[in-house]
Structure 1
Amino acid sequence: MPGSDCLKYTKKRLTWPDEEIQAKYKKKYVWGEMILQLIYAELDLRKQVQLEEKLQHKVKALEKSMFVTKLQISDASQDLEKLHNQITSAEHTVYEKEGHLPILLKKNYDLLRKDPHWFMRKELVDNCASQGGCCSRDCRCCAKRESSPRHKGKGHCTVECWCCSISRGFEFSDEQKEARTLEWKSMLTKSGSPYASTLAKSLICPVSKFRWRSFFTSSSDNASQDIENLLEGY
């Protein structure tokens, strides 16, 4: 069954040990660190792609407005062009981190992403909804991102989501965005974090053919058990 050996070669949880034993056990934790770095890179790319969506909405609104200058439209268009260059760099970073994965883990990672709806699996939908993202509303923005022309950077809401900012009624400040990102990383790196285990298997482990047809309504028992066994306390 696809995914039954998922994360087989990590054999470690996603956290580093205390510094005094880190050197001794560094090799045992190296795959977990690679997974973390890939998760961070994917989040950064999603944030920038969603910021691009936000700026595109802004440019369209300015073009329709009767009370803006050509300079305002030009400035917004230049910001969008700069962001395109940043997204290209972020895409390359994700590609680089993907290349660091062990071959069988990379095979599972790629297999999952062959389906354009892969990120709409139940675990990731629930995670988005629990954080107040678009999956907690009826807008279906996350599902619509499947049609994005970009090959990478598709997925659930980040602090840059345009629809979420409209729903909140305000935009996060840079300080608030940074604080939320640090809090999220803290949840991932906390020793024995069940959140890290769930997120890792949701982003990397393929699902059975039955799950493809049922829109990700249950987890693949073999893959799930493998990860629970391999990430929970070596």
Structure 2
Amino acid sequence: MFGEYRTLSAKPGYSYTYTDGWTLSANPVYSYTYTDGWVYHGRSRYSCESVIRIILAETSLRSTVQREDALNNKIRAAKKLADIDSNSSQLRQLKQLEKELEKLKKTRADQVRTLYEWECMLRVGSLRRGYISVKSNPAWYLREELVEDCISRGGCCSRDCGCCERRRLSAKNGKGIGHCTLECMCCIHDQGSEFTAEEKKDFNGRFGKMLRSNNPAFLLRITNAYFSKPLFWKIKTKHK
């Protein structure tokens, strides 16, 4: 069963499970050594940086998509106010929001290309096949490991709003779909205010450091969720 991690090692390992009560099958799991910077999937080894770059690129894209959604809501609210009382201050604010939205759209397009480039750099093998298989499921991000991560971070999965579940229905071409980032509108409302630019930079920097830490626990957990397809999909939400 997916999620049964082996002891961390520089050598590849296998998790053995009975799939039908009779047949014993071997499922590749990750092992890791921070001394040479490789992550192992089955009998193949991959540079840690090759998977970290994909995770960071996907996270950045997800953050931009959520920021864009929040801005669209602000613009709709500003337009309603402008229809009621179109003073110069409100029109100026609306124009500023629309300008920021156009800039974000360009950023999103650039991040989609960046993610695609890093995906293309992932060499052919079991890791690439696993990644493609995982992403073929529109609800891939609702697997238990990532839901638990969102809950632990205080995201929407820790509340009854259901935002994370609905995102798979609204993501643009399936890109940028996933759990809450610092730009999640619902999370911002729940905490009372947005994080400052400096705070966002600090949080994002710490996330990168966690992935590159000499303690591989976090990297292995996230990498398995992104790159290793389970024997069966166990989608978890707060309500199930």
Assess, with a 3 A threshold, how the Cα gap between structure 1 residues 3 and 109 changes in structure 2: closer, same or farther.
Answer: farther
1:71 aligned to which of 92, 100, 107: 92
Match of 1:159 in 2: 182
Residue type of the alignment partner of 1:92: R
Match of 1:57 in 2: 73
Contact 1:3–1:205 (CA under 8 A) maintained in structure 2: no
Q: 1:113-134: CA deviations, max 9, x gaps?
A: 1111110001000000100011
Contact 1:3–1:108 (CA under 8 A) maintained in structure 2: no
- Percent identity of paired positions between Structure 1 and Structure 2: 32
Unaligned runs of 5+ in 2: 1-18, 20-24, 40-44
Residue type of the alignment partner of 1:141: C
- The answer to whether 1:206 aligns with 2:218 is no
Q: 1:12-49: CA deviations, max 9, x gaps?
A: 44x4x4xxxxxxx5788862110011111111111111
- The answer to whether 1:215 aligns with 2:222 is no
1:50 Cα shift?
Answer: 0.8
Contact 1:3–1:206 (CA under 8 A) maintained in structure 2: no
2:129 aligned to which of 91, 96, 107: 107
Assess, with a 3 A threshold, how the Cα gap between structure 1 residues 127 and 149 changes in structure 2: closer, same or farther.
Answer: closer
Residue type of the alignment partner of 1:135: C
Which is richer in helix? 1
Contact 1:44–1:90 (CA under 8 A) maintained in structure 2: yes
Deviating 4+ runs (over 4 angstroms): 25-30
**Over aligned residue pairs, what C-alpha RMSD do you find?**
2.4
Which is richer in strand? 2
TM-score, reference length from structure 2: 0.77
**Bigger CA drift: 61-70 or 140-149?**
61-70
Q: Aligned pairs, how many?
A: 202
C-alpha distance in 2 between matches for 1:31 and 1:114:
23
C-alpha distance in 2 between matches for 1:27 and 1:113:
23
Match of 1:38 in 2: 54
Residue type of the alignment partner of 2:217: P
TM-score, reference length from structure 1: 0.79
RCO comparison, higher one (Cα < 8 Å, 6+) = 1
Match of 2:108 in 1: 87
- The answer to whether 1:174 aligns with 2:197 is yes
Residue type of the alignment partner of 1:75: Q
